[in-house]
Amino acid sequence: MRVAVASGKGGTGKTTVAAALVHAIGSGSGRGGTEGTPLMLDCDVEAPDAHIYLQPVLDESRAVSIPIPSVDEVRCDLCGRCAEVCRFGALAVLASGIKTFPALCHGCGSCARVCPRGAITEVRRKIGVIETGAAPPGVRFARGMLDVGEPMAVPVIRELLREIDGIGADAPVVLDAPPGTSCPAMAVLRGADYALLVAEPTPFGLHDLRLMTEAVREMGLPAGVVLNREGIGDGEVERFCRQTGLKVLLRIPYQREIAEGLARGILLTAVVPGLEAAFLGLWQRIQQEQMADVH
């Protein structure tokens, strides 16, 4: 069971919810529950921060790289097909030779494929790293980190999602998605069975929840909502949920002590211990909802 914790808007509480959820599953499992060892993937590779709440020990890492073209100037006759086929402007043909722009390259390999003289070979370029380890209580943890200055998060996310390979379909996996509804967030949702959408009841929160709802519906992904900072803003987010049939599965109140605790890097369910049972309940509810959607 792969649950992506997502939101259109940044700063809504994705990581707060994802970390509390996976921690609750781990605790439940440790107490003899049936949940199984959970896996947490921090997929916000441009700014991973779930480690702040979960305090994992990361003892393994591997580089993520993409293939980029390397042009053999002796073989190249400057025909220009490589630059023509490239959708990303990563190659330019000049009288002096082929100029490549590694930062623009998406690693699709089209240039090497179309080169009639076999002058292009692909070489690897590192763009990030995957780090894996474990966090208490019995949570397997991995995160992706995009190198500073690199523009493409998706290859790092795809590599991170490979951590799920070989895990049973029932094992709990929580994916902390990046904000927004662009490619990185969609790459994470594609790896999920269920989208848990964190929203705050403000006009801005509503705007981005609407976008995200459209996205998950287009993907045919079942979704539910966690209403964070309940008590601020207005009732429009709840109205939207009612109108569109989105269920609000959990409400987190707007409280000063929560904000203070989170700002110190303390896990939500450690700030408000009573919420741990609510998060375990949320996990069970998600499973029911997902089953109901499938059948």
Partner 1 sequence: MSSQEAGGTRIAIPASGEGEDRAPARRFGRCSHFAIFDSASESWTFLPNPARDQERGAGVAAAQSMVAEGVDVVIGPRLGPNAAGVLEEAAIAVVPLPGGEAATVSRVLDVWLRARTREI
**Which residues bind to partner 1, rule: CB under 8 A?**
78, 80, 83, 86-96, 99, 101, 104, 106
Taking the least distance from each CB to partner 1, the nearer of 114 and 272 is 114
Taking the least distance from each CB to partner 1, the nearer of 78 and 114 is 78
Taking the least distance from each CB to partner 1, the nearer of 152 and 216 is 152
Quickly tell me which residue has 């998950």 as its tokens. 216
Nearest approach, Cβ of residue 43 and partner 1 (Å): 22
Contact 66, 152 (CB under 8 A): yes
Put the strands of the sheet holding 120-135 in their side by side order: 57-71, 120-135, 139-146, 39-42, 173-176, 2-6, 194-199, 223-230, 247-253
Please choose, from the candidates 80, 140, 147, the residue with its C-alpha nearest in 3D space to the C-alpha of residue 116.
80
Nearest approach, Cβ of residue 81 and partner 1 (Å): 12
Nearest approach, Cβ of residue 110 and partner 1 (Å): 13
Contact 154, 18 (CB under 8 A): no
Taking the least distance from each CB to partner 1, the nearer of 92 and 167 is 92
Nearest approach, Cβ of residue 73 and partner 1 (Å): 14
Nearest approach, Cβ of residue 154 and partner 1 (Å): 13
Quickly tell me which residue has 């023509």 as its tokens. 84
* Cross-strand pairs, 195: 4, 223
In 3-state terms, what secondary structure has residue 1? coil
Taking the least distance from each CB to partner 1, the nearer of 104 and 266 is 104
CA distance 295 to 285: 15
CA distance 235 to 202: 8
Nearest approach, Cβ of residue 94 and partner 1 (Å): 5
Taking the least distance from each CB to partner 1, the nearer of 101 and 214 is 101
Nearest approach, Cβ of residue 77 and partner 1 (Å): 11
CA distance 253 to 64: 39
In 3-state terms, what secondary structure has residue 276? helix
Taking the least distance from each CB to partner 1, the nearer of 151 and 265 is 151
Q: What angle do CA 139, 192, 185 make, to 5 degrees?
A: 100
